Amino acid sequence: MVVNFARTSASNKQLKQVFQDIDAQSCPRSFNFHMHTVYSDGRLQPSELMEQAIAIGLQGLAITDHHSVGGYYAAQAWLEDWKWNNPGADAPQLWSGVEINANLLDVEVHILAYAFDTEHYSIKPYIQRRITTGKEYQASHVIAAIHEAGGVAVLAHPVRYRKSHFDLIPAAADMGIDGVEAFYAYNNPKPWRPSSLESEQVQELADEYGLYNTCGTDTHGCSLLQRL
């Protein structure tokens, strides 16, 4: 556990350095921190996702299946095998990830966890392929659990909920969240591009509350360059 947590700490630091430079051009061809596989509600096998990531030339990514790290484990094994068979080739950085349902200001939101120790006891309730209940369902508890596992907590697509992002982001910041998914394509445009007005508003709130900006396609279909 000590070794795992030390490795997680280094991964966490590396990811935060990447988040400092994320902008509207980062996704979907340089970084992508929101993707789903068949291990939750996506259509891609983890191997197919990794093949696309390498073909696109992604520098870094995270698979964020709902309440599951099965896709991450499978992709990690595939990537290690690929690197073994392609010595010296450029390989993307794959961080652990999961998307967690939580209650924030009495509405359900999604919190993305990154670069955490997948074996840590605090994250276990959230990787059982089901939504938690009671205290574990509260956003403050989810954020704390992610941090205990050495991870980074990010509010996913903050303009998609029944309550305004102008209320949700400050509340999440008060609970210790690390970042917000600033660059997101809310109307599923083709080609994929972040929604300009929403992205600008979220970035301003992130600046005000000292949060990282992140990006992701939220891929559920067969292409990492689209959401659906």
- pLDDT tens for 181-200 read 999 999 999 999 999 999 99
**Rounded (5°) CA angle 75-76-79:** 85
Confidence band of 144 (pLDDT split at 50, 70, 90): very high
Q: Which residues pair with 94 in a beta bridge?
A: 61
pLDDT of residue 9: 86
Stretch 107-134: mean pLDDT, rounded? 98
Which pLDDT tens digit goes with each residue over 1-29? 555 767 888 999 999 999 999 999 999 99
Strand order in the sheet with 212-215: 97-104, 107-114, 152-155, 179-183, 212-215
Mean pLDDT of the chain: 97
- Domain residue ranges in the chain: 2-215
CB atoms closer than 10 angstroms to residue 26: 22
The per-residue pLDDT for 139 is 99
What CATH number matches the domain at 2-215, 2.40.160.10, 3.30.70.100, 3.40.50.720, 3.20.20.140?
Answer: 3.20.20.140
Give the whole-number percent of the chain exceeding pLDDT 90.
96
pLDDT of residue 7: 81
pLDDT at 3: 53
